[in-house]
Amino acid sequence: MTTLDSDESAESYFGTQLPPPTLDQDIAGVRSFVHRQRGLNRKVVLVTSGGTTVPLELNVVRFLDNFSAGTRGATSAEYFLKAGYAVIFMHRQFSLQPFSRHYSHSTNPFLDFLEIEPNPDKSSAPPNITVTRSERDGLLDVLTAYKSVQQSGLLHTLTFVNVNEYLWLLRAVSQELSVLGRSVLYYLAAAVSDFFLPRQKMSEHKIQSGKGSLLIEMDQVPKILKPMIDEWSPDGFVVSFKLETDPALLVPKSRAALERYGHHLVIGNDLHRRKHEVVFVSREHQGTAARDVGINWLRISGDAVNARGHPKEIEEDIVAELTKRHQAWIEGPRS
């Protein structure tokens, strides 16, 4: 594996790649959601979540993907809702979602805790289906929160699969959100591919294996944070994530991202320790030089994470800290 030299700007990306067919419809939905929240003077967070694919064929059979179940995004979205935010949850199709995430098909299949209850009066009426007693309390909390969010209309969901859909959506949504000024928080937890295969280089049909090995050469995805912060939504509070597997790279890479884009905060996390610890890398003071960077570790104990009954989720503390920092930004001096 090697990387070659190339330069891709966001402008040239959107000038050469096609928008997804559902974009206009998605924008209309976001616009009316934003309008409603603005009328209520409510803070809004955009949570992006899950990995993006890079299709290798136009009739896509094979694709490159990024590892992400969507746990960070789905969990955080719940805590943002609890904290009073309206949430736009922009996620990879079939990745975890707030509330339903507690019941994955594999580790906690919901069919296992449903019971068929014959009708008590033995009439010809069909039997009831109820939730097993042992699961009831846990599910009741989740279900109550879910129904309350549904009713209040505080959660708006958007779906992407490939990196092209993600990029077009992110641009459009941040442009829509910009009317909220400082009241909008960007929580960019999706695992976005650094590379893509331009339409122009894709083969139409499934790549035939024939004899031998496969060679793929991809282009670099444009650094979308740059125009987002400079042009599309300059007043928003922007939090990006950095995932690394080499602990030695975590802080340097997070710091480099912060310096490069000049946004508010990078949350660094190591693949193997991401449920126990993250690091907040931020500018100490608005407008200060890059060397005045704050490094704050946020840790919870392994015991708390694995506690039976009520396990602690690190996203609770992440969101609590962000809520404070966002509020300080809203109330802070205007430049």
| Residue ranges in 17-56 that form contacts with its own copies under rule CB under 8 A | 53, 56
Residues 217-246 that bind its own copies (CB under 8 A): 217-220, 243-246
Nearer to its own copies, 121 or 204 (CB): 204
Q: Is there binding between residue 256 and its own copies (CB under 8 A)?
A: no
Residues 272-291 that bind its own copies (CB under 8 A): 272
∠ CA 309-310-314, nearest 5°, is: 145
Query: In Å, how far from its chain's centre is CA 21?
Result: 22
Query: In Å, how far from its chain's centre is CA 258?
Result: 19
Tell me which of 9, 25, 104, 119 binds its own copies, using CB under 8 A.
Answer: 104
Report in angstroms how near the CB of residue 143 gets to its own copies at its nearest.
Answer: 6
Comparing CA positions, the residue from 85, 6, 7 lying closest to residue 44 is 85
Q: Is there binding between residue 249 and its own copies (CB under 8 A)?
A: yes
Nearer to its own copies, 6 or 335 (CB): 6
DSSP 323: H
Report in angstroms how near the CB of residue 272 gets to its own copies at its nearest.
Answer: 8
Nearer to its own copies, 37 or 68 (CB): 68
Report in angstroms how near the CB of residue 11 gets to its own copies at its nearest.
Answer: 18
Could you give the CA distance from residue 267 to residue 287 in angstroms, rounded to a whole number?
Answer: 19
∠ CA 91-96-102, nearest 5°, is: 150
Comparing CA positions, the residue from 189, 263, 191 lying closest to residue 226 is 263
| Angle (deg, nearest 10), helices 23-39 and 163-177 | 30
Q: Is there binding between residue 269 and its own copies (CB under 8 A)?
A: no
Q: Is there binding between residue 65 and its own copies (CB under 8 A)?
A: yes
61 CB neighbour count, 10 Å cutoff: 10
Residues 189-218 that bind its own copies (CB under 8 A): 191, 193-195, 201, 203-218
At 129, list the tokens: 């289906």
Residues 107-166 that bind its own copies (CB under 8 A): 109-111, 114, 116, 126-131, 136-137, 139-140, 142-144, 146-147, 159
